[in-house]
Structure 1
Amino acid sequence: MTKKTKSLVPSIDKAVDIIILLSQKPNRTLKQIYEELGYPASTCFNIITTLEQRGIVEKNKLTSQFKLGTTLMRLGMQLYEDIDIRKVALPIMKTLVAKFGETSYLTIVDYSTYEGVVIDKIESLKTVTVIRSIGSRVPLYASATGKSLLSGLTNDEIEDYFSKVNFVKYTEKTITSKDQLMEELNDIREMGYAITENDMGDGASAVSAPIKDYQGKVVAAVSLSGPSNRMEEQIPLIIPEVKLAAEKISSLL
């Protein structure tokens, strides 16, 4: 058992599990919550009562079902507004979208799960698009922004990532081999961009480039994404523009 594990507060750990469960499966009864998590009913009751009093969860009095409360929404919006990189990146993302007519995403790593999280986007105005909402999570190994983010991890972080990730082969193009992925990451570091072409089976292709802070650490990734049939011919033109966008954002940071 590590020092960090010994320092965990069990009740807080369980409270976080309840919050995450309700974020994924809202409108659950107390019985459904403790059965799904495998926690004692009394423990869940005490934790949920506390969370309810603080506005973190809310109870529907008619159905006795719980969902996340407005306190979390307020805290989430505060965090959302405090991410300075969004203010820097949005004007540059708008230029990308205006030039190519596809959707641009800004993504960061959630190190607790090693997933990419979309923190902002500028949508295409075209009728046929492949849209991910703000807050959406993407696997790092199967998305263009994810690979750009992975390329910035240290060797220790990458080893930690491989020890935790469960590779899913969405299509024949999805890389699920550690050696193959490491080879691609080395190419991305050298070229400065990543490409995916329907790697997740969603009919989308994307070009992404890593964004770096003043110390040269990758802190986010910017991408341009759209339906594969539209993106195919544009990719050679998009690559230098996405790289330039990432460089501009990095410079402003």
Structure 2
Amino acid sequence: MIKINEDKCIGCGLCVKDCFTKEIEVTGRKAKPKGIRCIECGHCIAVCPTNAIVLENYPMSEVLEYEKGAFEIDPDQYLRSLKYRRTIRQFSGRQVENQKIENIIEAGRYSPTGGNQQNVSFCVMRDDIEPLRNMVIDELYKFANLPEEEKAKLNISWYGNLWKQMYLDYHDKNRKDGLFFDAGTVILVISKSMQNACIAAAHMETMVYAQGLGMLYSGFFTRAAAHSKEIKEYLRLDQGQEVAACLVIGYPDVKYQRTVPRKPAEVAWR
């Protein structure tokens, strides 16, 4: 819940105007919370010209004051970076620093969620990558051996032979990793809301590349996790939680020289 310092409040009403749930009112020339339906979004904190509002049970020390030029992103440079971005499947053996991992998590933590639920959590896999990789590759191998009609229903017919080969390569004496490609860090984005988790994953991806790292979204992992009770129990997922995205992260061992073309966007202007 919010708390308003009446000594600082000037009764301007900006917080009232920006409150989506109409939780604040101005009475006696002072803003006051109604205490009914605050979703703790913090809009009132951000808009207040006198910094008179705090959110109880939140770390207010992490609040940053706006400075022109310090928060804006150059749109042309941002678009160029998106066009240059490539999915990485060749990783060097260099370990990703903890600070960079924490920055990626921070990007996910600050991503918007519906109703400000903040119901996205993260699991950083490093030491436990090996047993998890085993479980996922085994689960995909089970999919690969389903009858053809079953694979067609699941829209995985094309992947069957690929998953079989991945299994054989991994259990070969050379242990070729066709799932995580020997990346040393995997971050799982977990939530009961697929939308909230996917928004967080997209913001995290931007931070990955901003720090000189590379990544791939492993759809193979999320498919296996969605169908495997063993994997869910290993990850200690709560009832209703799903792994919405699997970010396989590391330092790229490949250098791209240019962007690539894309199909034209299908846009309806109405």
- TM > 0.5 fold call: no
The alignment's TM-score, normalised by the length of structure 2, stands at: 0.26
Larger Rg: 2
**Structure richer in helix, relative to its length:** 1
More strand by share: 1
